[in-house]
Amino acid sequence: MEHKTKKAILVVSFGTTFHRTREKTIDRIEREIGEAYPEYAIYRAWTSKMILAKLLRRDGIRIPTVTEAVEAMLADGITELVVQPTHVINGVENDQMKEDVQPYAHRFERVVFGAPLLTSTRDNEEAIRAVMAEFPDLKDTEGLVFMGHGTTHYANAVYAALDYTFKDLGYPHVFLGTVEAYPSLETLLKLVRSFSPEKVVLAPFMVVAGDHAIHDMSSEDEDSWRSQFVQAGFSVECVMKGLGEYPGIRRIYLRHIAEALEG
């Protein structure tokens, strides 16, 4: 009997409880991966236990964990597996994803992992060009401030490196900070003050414009980034657009799949 290879791509995301931003970001990324690799079955897994629990409780929607998705693929007879995260950096979530897949790896004929968004210098530069292509009307006298997530993981260093790379590529008026690590809002306020822009544009540097973008970045709460910049005397505009909405960002994920398959 002839052996038939069954291939699949598992797209692993942190997840979101906001359906509208999910449709524009995670759904869009998965759809474009499916279009680029029609011979592969596309599976989804999310890594945030809090988000998975809330979706199930609130909406009755069950999204598989990485372990559940891998077990489903084995049950479906998948023999070749590509795991592509939509994670921004090689942080805690990415490490955990690999740990969850490894116990099952011997049961597939082949398992490869695609890299997260920001893994190489080329990735950083392409990501910067991808997001800046979406701000064609930004004036040199205006500041663009991106909010990244941030992590205690050493991979957090990529955010400061990216901020530096923005300047290096000719965007002295673009700044990148994080909600939960360094560069912090306090650091950003100092840097932006020294640039003294006419206006500050805030945008999330996360795959989805979800909880952090809505509450920590753009809300009227006095601790939000918007409120803090207003309090510092700046005119502020918020752009509620996740990285997954940028075509150039989605292309980086596709390239990472291609590179994983070549490797």
Q: Which residues are catalytic?
A: 149
Strand partners, 238: 202
Residues 199 and 239: beta-carbon distance below 8 Å: no
Residue with tokens 């500050």: 200
Q: Which residues contact 140 (CB under 8 A, 6 or more apart)?
A: 173
Half-sphere exposure in the Cβ direction for 67 (13 Å, CA): 6
Residues 64 and 44: beta-carbon distance below 8 Å: yes
Q: How far apart are CA 263 and CA 257, in angstroms?
A: 10
Amino acid code (one letter) for 113: F
